[in-house]
Amino acid sequence: MHNKSVAQLIAGLRAKHFSSVELTRCFLDRIGSLDPQLNSFISVTEDTALAAAAAADQRLADGTAAELTGVPIAHKDIFCTQGIRTSCGSRMLDNFVPPYDATLIKRFDELGAITLGKTNMDEFAMGSSNENSYYGPVRNPWNTDLVPGGSSGGSAAAVAALLAPAATGTDTGGSIRQPAAFCGITGLKPTYGRVSRLGMVAFASSLDQAGPMAHTAEDCALLLNAMAGHDPLDSTSSPEPTQDYTAQLDNKLDGLRIGLPSEYFGDGLDAATGERIDAALQQLEAQGATLVEVSLPNSQLTIPTYYVIAPAEASTNLSRFDGVRYGHRCTDPVDLHDLYTRTRGEGFGDEVKRRILVGTYALSAGYYDAYYKKAQQVRRLIQQDFMRCFEQVDVIAGPTTPGPAFSLGAKSDDPVAMYLEDVYTLAVNLAGLPGMSVPAGFVDDKPVGLQLIGQHFDEARLLNVAHQYQQVSDWHLRQPAAMTGGAA
């Protein structure tokens, strides 16, 4: 059961090949036996999952099942879950049990999905290796000496290790796509505003977007169907109508124009990784697509732009963690100032503190124009680069990351080197576009991801391209050897 896709699980549950309780039990057992090696879950909700599974079986029997009834999934620990600790990977929220659900959680609940637990992540989604979690690093199922990527590293590792058939993630600068690439799974960051941010702990409000992580593009489409849609309680959520994201999966690629930005294939790209990407692109060409060279001339500015805007927004989004109403509070504060500075000094980890300080600096008097305003202007230039490309092409493609997963500890002492990991993914968030990472092969037994970037609200086309590629490739079906045993 554990190596089936979500689409197959839905079919299997309806056909009564297995029950939701059996299925849920199977994944819970795998988590119990395999996750100690990976640390991909912060909380496992065994009791509520099994109870929900039993109720799902009842509905399946009654014929009252909804789209995802009985399907177990995992949620990144950034989505508030009523009655279930939501830590965001931080000591600050180690004791935080929200009295409410995120809109995304409500939608999955309403559609009948079973929550297996909450996955590990870089603290407040800040990181590219999952080494910044208060709960310890997550390890890559393909090789536990490697990082799984971040910040949705727990979700990526859990799906790759078949501890959950699919998971939710969030992506502010690559946090779905980069770990999906590192762990050999499929991940989609939708258009900014496509999925509600309500109840998702904010990192950078104008960049954050939730999305699905699964083995196949088809599963991502099924999950996106559940997640997407306008939320009147999120002002930045788009009123643009949604669609059935599975409807275009079978379209052929004839006539599709794929843009290849020269900047994404330059010196920074690992040669072997580049070869895998080239091979994938040739495959798409063989399926009928036309490859067109394009240019994103401001690409070299994406890292500095992102590292002003994201920390600036984060610095104030995280001001609410003050030890007054919830979360960590230092012991015996002598005065108000002590309460604030010690609570925040203790509650936040090093990378979070660094970003708060950088963001505070960028917004402070005398620097606003030089940093924040400047970055917002360059942000527009970066978006305009994409808009010009989309006058020529339907989809942009390139590598998700400059190279495959690196070793734990390799970059944890060098923030700037770590930031370079996101060089190909950040621009997509700055421009608010949808982006995907699709498994495209291996380099030294480490997975490599092909990134697909679409126009605003063109998720269906990205999913179509990925699905067609997955009809003629099997990278997304490979399983890490160490994880195929266990309690299956």
Partner 1 sequence: MAIEQDEIEKIAELARIRIGDDQIGQVTQRITEILGMVDQLQAVDTSDVEPMANPLDATQRLRADAVTEVNRREAFQAIAPAVENGLYLVPKVID
Partner 2 sequence: MQWETVIGLEVHLQLATVSKIFSGSATTFGAEPNTQASAVDLAMPGMLPVLNEQAVHFAVLFGLGIGAEIGMRSVFDRKNYFYPDLPKGYQISQFQHPIVGTGTFEIQLEDGSTRDIGITRAHLEEDAGKSLHEDFHGQTGIDLNRAGTPLLEIVSEPDLRSAAEAVAYLKAMHSLVTYLGISDGNMAEGSMRCDINISLRPVGTETLGTRAEIKNVNSFRFVEKAIHHEFARQADILEDGGKIVQETRLYDADKDETRSMRSKEVANDYRYFPEPDLLPIVIEDDYVEALRQQLPELPVQKRHRFVEQYALGNYDANVLASSRELADYFEAVVAGCGDAKIAANWVQGDLLGQLNRSELSLGASPVSAEALAGLITRILDNSISGKIAKQVFEAMWQGEGSADEVIAARGLQQVSDSGELESMVDEVIAGSAAQVEQYLAADEGKRKKLVGYFVGQVMKLSKGQANPKMVNELLAKKLS
* Nearest approach, Cβ of residue 239 and partner 2 (Å): 11
Q: Closer to partner 2 by CB, 76 or 215: give it.
A: 76
Site for partner 2 in 363-392 (CB under 8 A): 363-365, 368, 372
Q: Closer to partner 2 by CB, 336 or 387: give it.
A: 336
Contact call for residue 320 and partner 2 (CB under 8 A)? yes
Give the one entry of partner 2, partner 1, none that residue 368 binds, where binding means its C-beta sits below a cut-off of 5 to 8 angstroms depending on kind.
partner 2
Size of the site for partner 2 (CB under 8 A): 42
Query: Which segments within 286-423 are labelled E, that is strand?
Result: 290-294, 395-399
What DSSP string runs through 174-195?
STTHHHHHHHT-EEEEPPTTSB
Contact call for residue 300 and partner 1 (CB under 8 A)? yes
Report the run of H or E that residue 261 belongs to, with start and end.
strand 257-261
Q: Please say if 76 is a catalytic residue.
A: yes
Q: Which residues fall within 8 angstroms of residue 416, CB to CB, at 6 or more apart?
A: none
- For 463, the token pair is 């999913």
User: Interface with partner 1 by CB under 8 A: which range of 267-275, 333-341, 393-401, 475-483?
Assistant: 333-341
Q: Please say if 206 is a catalytic residue.
A: no
Closest CA to 379 of 437, 310, 454: 310
* Nearest approach, Cβ of residue 226 and partner 2 (Å): 18
Task: Provide the sign of the torsion angle of the four alpha carbons 22, 24, 29, 30, taken in this order.
Answer: positive
Contact call for residue 374 and partner 1 (CB under 8 A)? yes
Distance CA 437, CA 351 (A): 25
Give the one entry of partner 2, partner 1, none that residue 192 binds, where binding means its C-beta sits below a cut-off of 5 to 8 angstroms depending on kind.
partner 1
Site for partner 2 in 191-230 (CB under 8 A): 197-202, 204-206
Site for partner 2 in 399-438 (CB under 8 A): none
Closest CA to 94 of 317, 320, 327: 327
Amino acid occupying residue 398: G
* Nearest approach, Cβ of residue 132 and partner 1 (Å): 14
* Nearest approach, Cβ of residue 452 and partner 2 (Å): 26
Q: Which of 341, 392, 407, 471 binds partner 1 (CB under 8 A)?
A: 341
Site for partner 1 in 155-184 (CB under 8 A): none
**Whether residue 151 has a cis bond before it, omega within 30° of 0:** yes
* Spacing of C-alpha 230 from chain mean position: 20
Residues 365-374: b if buried by 16+ CB within 10 A, e if exposed: eeeeeebbeb
Contact call for residue 232 and partner 1 (CB under 8 A)? yes
φ/ψ region of 414 (left if φ > 0, alpha if ψ in -120 to 50, else beta) reads: beta
* Nearest approach, Cβ of residue 236 and partner 2 (Å): 7
Distance CA 232, CA 227 (A): 14
Q: Please say if 133 is a catalytic residue.
A: no
Site for partner 1 in 377-406 (CB under 8 A): 377-381, 383
* Nearest approach, Cβ of residue 342 and partner 1 (Å): 5
Q: Which of 23, 56, 68, 93 binds partner 2 (CB under 8 A)?
A: 93
φ/ψ region of 16 (left if φ > 0, alpha if ψ in -120 to 50, else beta) reads: left
Distance CA 454, CA 463 (A): 10
Site for partner 1 in 90-129 (CB under 8 A): 95-99
Q: Which of 17, 248, 290, 326 binds partner 2 (CB under 8 A)?
A: 326
Q: Which residue's entry shows tokens 């297995």?
A: 18
Site for partner 1 in 35-54 (CB under 8 A): none
Contact call for residue 292 and partner 2 (CB under 8 A)? no
Catalytically annotated residue among 5, 40, 76, 133 = 76
Distance CA 8, CA 222 (A): 11
User: Interface with partner 2 by CB under 8 A: which range of 53-61, 98-106, 268-276, 280-288?
Assistant: 98-106
* Nearest approach, Cβ of residue 326 and partner 2 (Å): 7
Q: Closer to partner 1 by CB, 265 or 419: give it.
A: 419
Contact 82, 38 (CB under 8 A): no
What DSSP string runs through 99-161?
SS--HHHHHHHHTT-EEEEEE--SGGG--SSS---TT----BTTBTTB---SSSHHHHHHHHT
Which residue numbers are catalytic?
76, 151, 175
Give the binding site for partner 2 (CB under 8 A): 79-80, 86, 88, 93, 96, 98-100, 102, 197-202, 204-206, 232-236, 312-313, 315-316, 319-320, 322, 324-326, 336, 340, 360, 363-365, 368, 372
